[in-house]
Structure 1
Amino acid sequence: MESRAFVVEGGRKLSGEIVPQGAKNEALQILCAVLLTEEKVTIHNIPNILDVMKLIEILGDLGVQVTKLGEGSYEFIADNVNIEYLESPEFNQKAAKLRGSIMVLGPLLARYGYAKVPKPGGDKIGRRRLDTHFLGFTKLGASFEYDENDAFYKIDASSLEGKYILLDEPSVTGTANVIMAAVMAKGVTTIYNAACEPYIQQLCRMLNRMGANIEGAGSNLLKVEGVERLGGTTHTMLPDMIEIGSFIGMAAMTGSELTIKDCRLDQLGQIPATFQKLGIQMEFRGDDIYIPAQENYKIDRFIDGSILNIADGPWPMFTPDLLSIILVSAIKAKGTVLVHQKMFESRLFFVDKLIDMGAQIILSDPHRATVIGSNNERPLRGISMTSPDIRAGVALLIAAMAAEGESTIYNIEQIDRGYQFIDQRLNALGANIRRV
């Protein structure tokens, strides 16, 4: 996996069908939920990506029996968890490299009354606070300690008790962690300002099948009635909506005809409609999205004729993970759009690479960029560049595929963290991407 760069030959049209991988952001929560029971949990459609495989490795190190059943299907039995492993240097080293490691806290706290993780790493997209997780745990009766010297978060709770919790922000991972801590707490926990992403809905459905009592999934008000214990279950993960959005943008930018299979359209929220605002045509055929080859597409305006503004927000608003893809997709369109990244402060800094490629973009501040589309009149040119985070990495990959000539993208571990075998899957459609 330790490849250094992609060399991309631009200007090639893609054609055919592609199946999205399982949802990365769902996987990180669902996998940690196996720690809540000693019974067997079977999970299907797990994406084979760096972050997810590292988390499965950590679960194995904790004493969970992990059995691979087939491509993307695993069986987990957490009947003999070694909580002492949390004290080891090895755990410190592995967990610090993985943002998703924070998700073991809720389940371990619920079942063993104790948990700790090192300060996690991950993307360079600005500060990502973890306060929501810990404020939730302390409300349930846990004591929390952060040691600045060894950068460890420690949590202790002999018994958790249900409480009314108003989350300070609708954090997806924060909501998931608090839900998992609350499922076996005494009494009723009410979580207000909860995240309501499809990932959270999936987690709630899974926990309810395991015997939990959670009401309100899909809304911002959750009611969790504590139960004595949870049992096993089988769970199939959703397709990754971020990959689906990435493929829509990729088809438009390369003027390709593409069918994205098995999309679970009922779970995509505003994603298809937001790409349609850029003028990208698509047809919904059963559960597939068909994108015809389009030489040109034209950005909508607001009803009064003013310039379109696309912003992100907590679900069911447009997901921040796809704003980089929207920005790139607008480069070849006809018209102008203001992209407003509200939730993370450093996510738009990759536009300097797009400007080097010939895109007409004005970066107003860390949160706002105006894209003046070229209407396909000025092709992008290939350059050398470095990927700062997972989503910008794929946005740069899309730009490179649409550019004239050859581009080199360094630091592609960032792309591998979120997209499985992306080069092989795109090459099968007619791309030319080499790992070097």
Structure 2
Amino acid sequence: MASFEIHGGKKLKGEVIPQGAKNEALQILCGVLLTPEKVTIANLPDIIDVNKLINLLQAMGVKIEKVEKGTYIFQAKDVNLDYLKTEDFKERASGLRGSVMIIGPLLARFGKAFMPKPGGDKIGRRRLDTHFEGLIKLGANFNFDSKEHFYTVEAKKLEGIYIHMDEASVTGTANIVMAAALAKGKTTIYNAACEPYLQQLCTMLNNMGAKITGVGSNLLHIEGVKELKGCYHRILPDMIEIGSFIGLAAMTQSEITIKDVGYEHLGIIPQVFKRLGIQLERRGDDIFVPAQESYEIDTFIDGSILTVSDAPWPGFTPDLLSIILVVATQAKGSVLVHQKMFESRLFFVDKLIDMGAQIILCDPHRATVIGMDRKTNLRGIQMTSPDIRAGVSLLIAALSAEGKSVIHNIEQIDRGYQDIDIRLNNLGADIRRV
């Protein structure tokens, strides 16, 4: 098991280019199964989760050609459905949360799909009911083998219908949209997720010949077509990584320019960081974060303590709440961080408390951070990364802390962040992979 050894307290400076969006890449890669023609995808991040899904597609019979770093051509002309019943498939697919999105495309194109219970971060319950309930409404028969933890969906034909989703699940919406794209007739999805990742998936499908309207809203209309063609698609910059770099700059009093961020796709992310007192400036499609000695958390209009909470898009993404929590530890003022979606995502705060942060974990969903305004620096400790976002949050804390920190289980960080140690070292950080 690899670890990061970090010597903190160094101010960073320079430019950094965000990687392609991990959460978009996982959807787009599953979408290549909808057509036998070639699909070219650019700006794919070189991270564990994406590479695992690429390897899974290859094992399923998808022909893959690497054009250059980050750009691949996929052709799902000869998909081996028998492979989906093998132990190798079960092992590969169960180790990756994003693999669940192969169900919709396989069902739509081949009339059946199989899936073991997928893995992923241990951040709380992540139910799949929304996925399967939507597919059942489209005409699929569903079976779950509770002993083998294996899902099966089959359908002789899918027919469009009105679907009111019980939650605005991003991956659930993606699965239903991809299935509906090849269903007969019109499908309407209400309470659909409308994250930029989902918008990008719909854009790609439309470029392949799908007929999807309402993109960017929570009401999608899909006119089913008989077949989809190949296309070229470029993945957006990763907004979670962009937010992580903004937080890193503030915590380490660093001057950082984040290049080519796709600003119009960031929603309220810059606004939320500004409410923590962080200065940032849009320069074209770049974000410039100046070195700040201090930053002060805003309050609500009546003077009450600021609450930062997650919500379905266009609300604030839950993937950045861990970063907000860490950044608040050295701010002036206090903030209540409310993680609504996942009940285990705040359980890394004990490490921050050990580093000297003043945090009250109110319950599994809420933590109050009392900012120290740099009067006391965090101190380096040994810790273990529990999930992707908490891992990067701990890395940011370690880079701002006095002395040496060691973070174990950094495979969790590598799952979502490409060459993060190399890129931060280029800015002046002192991170060693051991």
- Tell me the alpha carbon deviations over residues 330-372 of structure 1, each in whole angstroms, 9 at most, x when there is no partner: 0111000000001110100100100000000010000100000
Q: Which runs of 5+ in 1 are unaligned?
A: none
Secondary structure of 2:4's aligned partner? strand
Give 1:428's match in structure 2, choosing from 399, 423, 426: 426
**How far apart, CA to CA, are the structure 2 residues paired with 1:81 and 1:370?**
50
- Tell me the alpha carbon deviations over residues 166-212 of structure 1, each in whole angstroms, 9 at most, x when there is no partner: 11100000000000010010000000000000000000000001000
- The aligned runs of 1:318-337 (5 Å cut-off) are 318-337=316-335
- Tell me the alpha carbon deviations over residues 287-332 of structure 1, each in whole angstroms, 9 at most, x when there is no partner: 0000000010000111111111101000000000000000000011
Q: Which residue of 1 aligns with 2:80?
A: 82
**How far apart, CA to CA, are the structure 1 residues paired with 2:31 and 2:301?**
46
Secondary structure of 2:14's aligned partner? strand
Q: Which residue of 2 aligns with 1:257?
A: 255
- Tell me the alpha carbon deviations over residues 126-168 of structure 1, each in whole angstroms, 9 at most, x when there is no partner: 1101111000000000000000111101000110000100111
Q: CA deviation at 1:15?
A: 0.5
- Tell me the alpha carbon deviations over residues 73-126 of structure 1, each in whole angstroms, 9 at most, x when there is no partner: 000011111111101110011111111110110000010000011001110101
The reply to whether residue 365 of structure 1 matches residue 363 of structure 2 is yes
Matching residue's letter, 2:226: E
**How far apart, CA to CA, are the structure 1 residues paired with 2:7 and 2:132?**
46
Matching residue's letter, 2:343: E
**How far apart, CA to CA, are the structure 2 residues paired with 1:378 and 1:124?**
32
**How far apart, CA to CA, are the structure 2 residues paired with 1:33 and 1:223?**
18
The reply to whether residue 392 of structure 1 matches residue 387 of structure 2 is no
Matching residue's letter, 2:35: T
Q: Which residue of 1 aligns with 2:199?
A: 201
Report % sequence identity.
Answer: 68
When normalised by structure 1's length, the TM-score is: 0.99
Give 2:237's match in structure 1, choosing from 224, 236, 239: 239
Secondary structure of 1:400's aligned partner? helix
Q: Which residue of 2 aligns with 1:342?
A: 340
Give 2:377's match in structure 1, choosing from 367, 371, 379: 379
Q: Which residue of 2 aligns with 1:134?
A: 132
**How far apart, CA to CA, are the structure 1 residues paired with 2:365 and 2:52?**
31
The reply to whether residue 155 of structure 1 matches residue 153 of structure 2 is yes
Give 1:73's match in structure 2, choosing from 71, 74, 78: 71
Q: Which residue of 2 aligns with 1:191?
A: 189
- Tell me the alpha carbon deviations over residues 237-281 of structure 1, each in whole angstroms, 9 at most, x when there is no partner: 000000000000000000000000000000000100000000000
Give 1:213's match in structure 2, choosing from 211, 214, 223: 211
Q: CA deviation at 1:24?
A: 0.3
**How far apart, CA to CA, are the structure 1 residues paired with 2:30 and 2:301?**
46
Matching residue's letter, 2:19: Q
Q: Which residue of 2 aligns with 1:288?
A: 286
Aligned length: 434
Q: Which runs of 5+ in 2 are unaligned?
A: none
**How far apart, CA to CA, are the structure 1 residues paired with 2:127 and 2:386?**
19
Secondary structure of 2:108's aligned partner? helix
**How far apart, CA to CA, are the structure 2 residues paired with 1:32 and 1:349?**
31
**How far apart, CA to CA, are the structure 2 residues paired with 1:339 and 1:320?**
11
**How far apart, CA to CA, are the structure 1 residues paired with 2:256 and 2:2?**
29
CA RMSD of aligned residues (A): 0.5
